[in-house]
Structure 1
Amino acid sequence: MREISYTVPAEFDGVQAQVFLKSRGISRRVLTALKRSGGLTRGGGILRTVDAVHAGEVITLQLDGGETSVAANPELSADIVYEDEDVVVFNKPPFMPVHPSQRHHDDTLANLFAARYPGLPFRPINRLDRNTSGLCVCAKNQFAAAALSGSISKVYYAITDGTPPGDTVDAPIGRLGDSVIERCVTPDGKPAVTHFRKIAGERRALLRITLETGRTHQIRVHMAHIGFPLCGDDMYGGDCTAISRQALHCGEVEFTLPVSGERITISAPLPEDMAAILDGTNERT
C-alpha cells in the first residue's frame, strides 16, 4: 500500500477535494479508484471528492497496488538504474521480451518484476522490442502510471553501416500487407517523424535518435526506408554478420516524478555488443 499526503495551501482553501487533487496530477481514474476503496482521507476520516478542503489540512491517499497474474521468475536479472516508491527504471537486456506471450511465458521483464515486487501489477510506461536493449520505465501504482503516461522523453542509439544523409525522416508507417508484425513506409500509413544525428563511428555510424511519434518499429523502418537499415536487423535488411540483433538501445529517458514534480534524466551506457561493432572487435568471419 502506497500512502501519499498533501497539505492544502492557502490558494486552494474552500475548493472541492477533487479540484485540489487534480492540481497535484491525480487523474480522474485514480480518484474513482480512491472513492471505491475508501482510500481518500482527511484527519483519519473518509473524504469525499466533492467535499471542501481548507488551508493547512492534510489530505492522504492510500493507493492499493492491485493484483497480478504474472508468474514470478527470480532467476531473471536486469539492472535497476533508478527506483523510488512510485517508479522503477530497468536497463532491459537484449533478447528479453517486456510482456509474456505464447512463446515467452516466464522469461520476460514482467516475470522479473513479479519476482521483485510480489503482488504489484506490471505497468510499463514505455515498451521496447524483445531484441532492443535499454531503459524501461515502470510504475508501481496506478497514480504513478497515470502521472507518467505521456510525460516521458526518450533518446535512442542505433548503429548503421555508413552514415545516413540528412537528419530527419518524415514518412508515414503502416502494416506490410497482411503481416501482424512487419511495418513499412506507405502513403496510407500513420504520420511518423524520426530525427537523427551521427555522434560517433567511421565505417559504421552511431546515431542519436529522437522521435516525434511512436509507431511500431519506427526507427527500424525509417532507417531501412532511406537505405541504411540498422546493423543486425534481419527483418528490415540489416547486415547480421557482426551482431545478432538489431543495434538499437534506449539510452536516455526524461520524466517528471509523480509526487515531487521534479524532472529527472536517467541514462544507460551503450551495451557491449553494440560498442564492440563500432570499434570492430566483434567482427565475425
Structure 2
Amino acid sequence: MTKHTRSSTNDTLQFNVEEETELLSFLRSVMPNRSRNSVKSILTRGQVSVDGHMETKHNYQLHPGQEVTILKNKVAVKESMLIGMSILYEDRDLIVIYKEAGLLSIATPKEKKQTAHHQLMEHVQRENPQNRIFIVHRLDKDTSGVMVFAKSEQMKRKLQRNWKENVKERTYMALVEGQIQQESGTISSWLKENKIHVVYSSQKKGDGQHAVTHFKKVRSNAQFSLLEVELETGRKNQIRVHMQDLGHPVVGDKKYGATTNPIQRLGLHAKVLAFSHPVTNKLMRFEAPVPKSFYRAVS
C-alpha cells in the first residue's frame, strides 16, 4: 500500500498524491477508518479539493504531485462554514470572495444550494434574516478566482452602472493549448450568441457587443502556453471565444475547441480584481494565487 504524505490544519487534512488513481479510491486509502458511504458523502458535500478546486466526481483521475485537501467533518457541519469558497473582504456594502473551480456562482435549474450566492445569502442572514446578497458579475462554474457581491440592490446597481470606470484592473490567467509565438497582443471583435448559447466573434463593426482582450505570454512549452489576460470589456465567455479566435483555445474548454485537459478543469483563473469602492471611493485590490496545476502544465 502506498504511503501518502500528510499534513493538517485545525480545519483540513492535506495529502500529496504519489501515484495515478481515482479520487474515491484515494480518499478511501487515506481514510481507512471510514465506510465507503461516509467517504462518498464527504465528496458529495463538496468537502474535497484537488489543487485548490472543489471536486465531487468519484472517478476524477488523480496524478502524482497533486494535492488533495479534505475539509474536516466537524468544520463542514458548522453553520458558518463556506464550501468551495472563502471570504477575502466584507463590509456593510459588499463581500469579496475567492471562488474555487467547480462551484456555481448562482443557482441553475439543477442546482439551487451549492452555489456562492446561496452560501453568502445564508452567511449574511445569520446576522439578520432580512439581509440579502446581490450578484454583480459572474464567473463560470469551472473558473476560479476573485468575485464581488453587493449587499443591497442599490449597491449592485451602483457597481454595475459604473463597472467599466470603477474597475481599475481585471486580470485573468489562461492556460491555453499550443505554443503561442507572439509575446503579447490584443484581440478585438463583436460577440454574438446563437440559439444553443455558443458565443462567437464577428469582425463586422456593431454586429454584436464589442469585446477587447489584451494578452501577454508568461511561459510556454511545446503543448501549452500560460497567458496573463487583461479584459478591457467584460462580455460573456469573452476570453474563451477570443482564445479560440487566436487558434489557442483554453485548456479543457470543449465548447470552444479544446481537445486536451491535463489539469482536469477549465484553464481559466480570475487572478486580480481592483476597483474603487462605490461608497468610500477607496481603491480595493484583491488577488487570488494562480493554481499550481497551471504552472505544472507549462514547466
Coarse TM-score class (shorter-chain normalised): 0.5 to 0.7
Structure 2 equivalent of residue 51 of structure 1: none
Aligned partner of 2:152 among 125, 141, 165: 141
Deviation at 1:222, TM superposition (A): 0.7
Do the aligned partners of 2:226 and 2:294 also contact (CA within 8 Å) in 1?
Answer: no
- Please say if 1:117 is aligned against 2:134: no
Q: Is the 8 A contact 2:277 2:283 kept in 1?
A: yes
| Helix, strand or coil at the partner of 2:208 | coil
Deviation at 1:164, TM superposition (A): 5.6
1:258 maps to a residue whose letter is P
Q: Return the offset for 1:126.
A: 2.0
Unaligned 5+ segments in structure 2 are: 1-78
| 1:46 corresponding residue in structure 2 | none
TM-score by length of 1: 0.66
Shift of 1:75: 6.0
Equivalent of 1:167, from 146, 161, 185? 185
| Correspondence for 1:4 | none
Tell me, yes or no, if the aligned pair for 2:120 and 2:133 is still in contact at 8 Å: yes
Give the distance between the partners of 2:283 and 2:262, measured in 1 at CA.
38
Alignment partner of 1:128 is 2:139: yes
How far apart in 1 are the matches of 2:153 and 2:181? 41
Alignment match, 2:105: 98
TM-score normalised to structure 2 length: 0.63
Q: 1:157 aligns with which of 173, 197, 212?
A: 173
**Among residues 84, 91, 94, which one is paired with 2:91 in the alignment?**
84
Amino acid at match of 1:154: R
**Which amino acid is 2:257 matched to?**
G
CA contact (8 A) 1:164 1:228 kept: no
- Contact conserved, 1:73 with 1:107, CA < 8 A, in 2? no
| Shift, 1:252, TM fit | 0.4
**Contact 1:73–1:111, Cα closer than 8 Å, also in 2:** no
Note if 1:221 corresponds to 2:241. yes
Residue range with higher mean Cα deviation, 162-171 or 221-230: 162-171
Identity %: 28
Question: Structure 1: which 5+ runs fail to align?
Answer: 1-71, 280-285
- Which one has a larger percent strand, Structure 1 or Structure 2? 2
Which residue does 1:197 correspond to in 2?
216
1-side partners of 2:266 and 2:84: how far apart? 21
Q: Count residues in correspondence.
A: 206
Rg comparison, structure with higher value: 1
Corresponding residue number in structure 1 for 2:63: none
**Contact map agreement 2:226 2:295 (CA 8 A) in 1:** no
Letter in 2 for 1:85: R
Q: In angstroms, what is the RMSD of aligned CA positions?
A: 2.2
Residue by residue over 1:99-154, the C-alpha shift from the partner in whole angstroms, topping out at 9 and shown as x without a partner, is 10111111111121122111432212221111111111111234432443312241
The one-letter code matched in structure 2 to 1:199 is: V
Cα pair distance change 1:145/1:198, threshold 3 Å: same
For residue 82 of structure 1, report the CA deviation from its aligned partner.
1.9
Indicate if the aligned counterparts of 2:252 and 2:264 stay in contact, CA closer than 8 A.
yes
Equivalent position to 1:267, from 287, 292, 296: 287
Residues 145-169 of structure 1: per-residue CA shift (max 9 Å, x gap): 2443312241111011212645011
The match for 1:231 among 246, 251, 263 is 251
1:73 deviation in Å? 9.5
Which residue of 2 is the match for residue 258 of structure 1?
278
